Structure 1
Amino acid sequence: MTNIVTTESGEKFTLFFTIRSPFSNFHPCRFTIFEDVGNGKPEERWYYSTEQYYMYHKALSAGDSETAEQIANERDARKIKMMSHNIKNFERETWNRISSDVMRRGNFAKYTQNPLLRKKLFYTYGSTLVECSPTDLEWGIGLDINEPDALSPSKWRGKNKLGQILTEIREELLLKPEYAQEVSDIISMLENFDSFSRQFFLPPKPPIQQCSCPPSGENDHDKRQSLPCSTEIGRTIDGNCDKRYSLPSFPCAERSENIPDSSSRNASNIKIENSSSTAHQEDYPQPARSTRKRNYHRIPSYDRDFRRYRWFKKFT
């Protein structure tokens, strides 16, 4: 989850948490780093999340090559997190001296080698990235993403080290000449967000007016259906009311160009045409309904989302 919020004072924050956010260490990605991994000679390795890269070097710092290889062969970030609890001979003080550099190298490779993720990082231009982990006081802020205090740095319980590193990486990439065109396009889009949003969101629907069309007949059946038919302004067929918004027993009503409000409407605004309900039936023929009785039997099916069986009808 990722939320970009602007406070009343004008401060802008990008709040993120969980694997769905592209800024999370658990978010799947693919990058390679050429470095010395402890065997005395540099080599190239592929990683599939920054969490994998971070925990792999955490195991190497403790000298646990067995757990390090298990982490290198696993792609699920959640399982990698559980494997890190089994690192042998782990020393917190030794790891704290290099952990920030390891996190920075992994995230720098992540955003330089993945153009789509880099653009998403540029979309946070002008904001401070904040990892809203309610339990992590080192890399997160110790607050949930929906808490109001998440927008007040003075009320954070954590250090937000991951958010600071991502903000620094973004500012560094913004100045690189090879990304100048990407940065220019994204900044111009953010400055003209209103016109940009109109390309993706439809304009609001026109208001719906109510017209009282008299029934076409005098029998009891027509009197029973003497209800006002609703017509939508702007959606007309040859200047007449849209037939989708009128009942079959009512004639179409032709509206003038300037339709007043319902409070000031009179009979002169609506022109009644001599059309019968059969015209609507011809334009919208009803499909013949089958009278054959369909046999079916109930079959169970396991629903994984709700962890229970459900019954479904299977027609024969």
Structure 2
Amino acid sequence: MTIYFYTSQGSHGCFSNFSFHGFELCDRWWPTVEHYFQAQKFAGTHHEDLIQRVKTPKDAARLGRDRKRPLRGDWNRVKDEIMRRGVLKKFATHADIREILLSTLDEELVENSPVDYYWGCGADGSGFNKMGRILMSVRSQLCDTV
């Protein structure tokens, strides 16, 4: 069976980067994985600080996707590992959602984004589903430590 997720609502809403499950990483508190991920595009700059402090993950995404801001030069090389680090920390921090993730056992997890062919499956299902793959990898890692 495949488990599809996309929004922060519903029984698997905690799989979304927009879910409010904060964590500490890099000596800072991040309200969501989206805040952390978008801010890391500008690590060490005032843009990182600004994104960390915005109220919603939607605002963090908007600011992080603004190409008027100077994207770090190594972003394409490091973005997957940065996402993985944030997702792992989120699920390691919160026992309730860790149990939800672990309860999926070996089910395939798919970010059902109709527009994102990198992190999600895209409208036609041909996307890379990097988010789902990261969640499955984190699930496997957490299983080994339980």
TM-score with structure 2 setting the length: 0.90
Task: Choose which of 61, 75, 98 in structure 1 pairs with 2:55.
Answer: 75
Give the corresponding residue for 1:49. 32
Provide the rounded CA distance (Å) in 2 between the counterparts of 1:170 and 1:86.
32
Task: Choose which of 2, 5, 10 in structure 2 pairs with 1:16.
Answer: 5
Give the corresponding residue for 1:173. 142
**Displacement of 1:94 after TM fit?**
2.5
Task: Choose which of 12, 27, 33 in structure 1 pairs with 2:19.
Answer: 27
In structure 2, the residue corresponding to 1:86 is in which secondary structure?
coil
Give the corresponding residue for 1:59. 42
Task: Choose which of 121, 125, 141 in structure 2 pairs with 1:156.
Answer: 125
Give the corresponding residue for 1:142. 122
Larger RCO, structure (CA 8 Å, separation 6 or more) = 2
Provide the rounded CA distance (Å) in 2 between the counterparts of 1:30 and 1:57.
16
Percent identity, aligned pairs only, is 30
Contact 1:67/1:86 (<8 A) preserved: no
**Displacement of 1:129 after TM fit?**
0.6
Opposite residue 3 of structure 2, the aligned amino acid is: T
Gaps of 5+ in 2: none
Task: Choose which of 86, 97, 100 in structure 1 pairs with 2:80.
Answer: 100
Provide the rounded CA distance (Å) in 2 between the counterparts of 1:32 and 1:90.
23
Contact 2:118/2:128 (<8 A) preserved: yes
The answer to whether the aligner puts 1:130 opposite 2:110 as a matched pair is yes
**Displacement of 1:90 after TM fit?**
2.3
Write out per-residue CA displacement over residues 170-222 of structure 1, whole angstroms, 9 at most, x where no aligned residue. Answer: 0111111xx2xxxxxxxxxxxxxxxxxxxxxxxxxxxxxxxxxxxxxxxxxxx
The alignment's C-alpha RMSD in Å is 1.6
Segment drifting more, 20-29 vs 81-90: 81-90
Provide the rounded CA distance (Å) in 1 between the counterparts of 2:3 and 2:55.
27
In structure 2, the residue corresponding to 1:59 is in which secondary structure?
coil
Structure with greater strand share of residues: 1
Write out per-residue CA displacement over residues 135-185 of structure 1, whole angstroms, 9 at most, x where no aligned residue. Answer: 001100003xxxxxxxxxxx6221000100100110111111xx2xxxxxx
Opposite residue 120 of structure 2, the aligned amino acid is: G
**Displacement of 1:72 after TM fit?**
1.1
**Displacement of 1:116 after TM fit?**
0.5
Give the corresponding residue for 1:84. 64
Provide the rounded CA distance (Å) in 2 between the counterparts of 1:32 and 1:96.
24
Contact 2:18/2:34 (<8 A) preserved: yes
Opposite residue 70 of structure 2, the aligned amino acid is: N
TM-score with structure 1 setting the length: 0.43
**Displacement of 1:125 after TM fit?**
0.8
Q: Which has the larger radius of gyration?
A: 1
How many pairs does the alignment contain?
A: 142
Structure with greater helix share of residues: 2
Opposite residue 59 of structure 2, the aligned amino acid is: K
Provide the rounded CA distance (Å) in 2 between the counterparts of 1:100 and 1:166.
12
Provide the rounded CA distance (Å) in 1 between the counterparts of 2:50 and 2:132.
28
Contact 2:42/2:70 (<8 A) preserved: no
Provide the rounded CA distance (Å) in 2 between the counterparts of 1:112 and 1:53.
15
Gaps of 5+ in 1: 1-11, 36-43, 144-154, 180-316
Provide the rounded CA distance (Å) in 2 between the counterparts of 1:85 and 1:161.
18
Write out per-residue CA displacement over residues 41-82 of structure 1, whole angstroms, 9 at most, x where no aligned residue. Answer: xxx11111100110110122xx6x222111011130011111
